[in-house]
Amino acid sequence: MRISIFGLGYVGAVCAGCLSARGHEVIGVDVSTTKIDLINQGKSPIVEPGLEALLQQGIDNGRLRGTTDFAAAIRDSDLSMICVGTPSKKNGDLGLEYIESVCREIGFVLREKSSRHTIVVRSTVLPGTVKNVVIPILEDCSGKKAGVDFGVAVNPEFLRESTAIKDYDQPPMTVIGELDKTSGDLLQSLYEELDAPIIRKDIEVAEMIKYTCNVWHATKVTFANEIGNIAKAVGVDGREVMDVVCQDKALNLSQYYMRPGFAFGGSCLPKDVRALTYRAGSLDVKAPLLNSLMTSNESQVQNAFDIIESHDKRKIALLGLSFKAGTDDLRESPLVELAERLIGKGYDLNIYDSNVEYARVNGANKDYIESKIPHVSSLLNADFDQVIKHADVIVLGNRDEKFRALAQQAPEGKQVIDLVGFMNKPSCPASRTEGICW
């Protein structure tokens, strides 16, 4: 394939070397004559193990060349990758001036180009950037229609400095965000020989995936550092702790807890977060990430309340009261907190939870229910159909399979709010279903 790569910094230079090594005809484009001279001499403009050998190989076999001539590069290629920088502004927002400049250059050339051209954004951009910035500029400058007259896609990179070539050749996944199927198909053909899953999504989803991965990595580093600081203060080697923690791939390193939804609760997590952060404070160890966990968790309860309140209905059915389906444990259940907020604001609340209903009569939690939350437990109703019939808004609070069907089809005239992820589609006013994070 004939590919032009705009921006020969870290991502662009690595992509130029790797793509040319895989037999593609690559044109590297940059405003810096220094970078272009280095590329054309087979030298690397960045320090990256193994890259210079790939660039030299590309120059020697004629598959790679560099140029400052944007227009010629676009005319002589079928696909353009945008790999320019997106630096931070002073206020933290993303600087898009380089993206905008390249898109204008590409757009003006596309105006005169008769063959189909595909533009692929590899630069890291926030969700909505391609839709609200890239495509409008391309369409305005070219006079053509995106997805019809030219292709558009997003292809976020997951390259780490010092291991970039290995990361390119052995990626955990390849993510393609496509405006149209033709663009996705063309981009997929570049990666089919790699031994990794190819994931095709809408453009905005792909944009968000990249940011989510990077912020998650930052969170992991910060988390490990704070655990290490606390461990050291109590005379423990934090590396030894985290080595063992990382061996658990069923829960600690897994997708089990990595699902957007409602707040965490139960007898362990809230208690243990508070205890560890208290101990850190007593040792004068700063742990701002860990200290933020309970505040963030409480805000998710408020998010659920705000969604309920936004529908301006007074009759509410809360399905589930225990923090987790299959248990009667109400200790620190965020659903109890949500119920108390609804009661406090005067909502007409009915609650259904078969496990808690049993515990109220027979279980070990009977004393807790009667002594700690009698004002909540008095609203429990064992008649599921009656609870649904009475409500204007139905809140799915835990993953009891009995509740799943309500997320797929809201009862006539009623609004369903899904806090756990039963919905198989995003929120839709027409279907009267709304998710807390989707």
Q: pLDDT tens-digit profile of 196-214? A: 999 999 999 999 999 999 9
**Which is catalytic among the residues 141, 268, 428, 437?**
268
Residue 380 to residue 243: CA distance in whole angstroms: 45
Q: Which of 225, 176, 162, 168 is nearest to 194 (CA)?
A: 168
Q: Which of 362, 398, 143 is nearest to 261 (CA)?
A: 398
Cite the annotated binding site by residue number. Answer: 10-11, 30, 35, 86, 124, 161, 210, 214, 217, 225, 256-257, 259, 262, 265, 271, 324, 331
pTM: 0.85
pLDDT at 363 over 90: no
Residue that is written with structure tokens 């890259």 in the block? 51
The two tokens of residue 162 are 């010092």
Residue 313 to residue 326: CA distance in whole angstroms: 29
Mean pLDDT value of segment 270-283: 93
Q: Residue 54: helix, strand or coil by DSSP?
A: helix
Q: Which of 95-99, 299-303, 378-382 has the lowest mean pLDDT?
A: 378-382
pLDDT at 113 over 70: yes
What does DSSP say about strands 25-29 and 64-67: parallel, antiparallel, or unpaired? parallel
Phi/psi zone of residue 177: left (φ > 0), alpha (ψ -120 to 50 degrees), beta?
A: beta
Cite the annotated binding site for GDP-alpha-D-mannuronate by residue number. Answer: 161, 210, 214, 217, 225, 256-257, 259, 262, 265, 324
pLDDT at 365: 66
Concerning whether 268 is annotated as a catalytic residue, the answer is: yes
> Phi then psi for 61, rounded to 5 degrees?
-90, 5
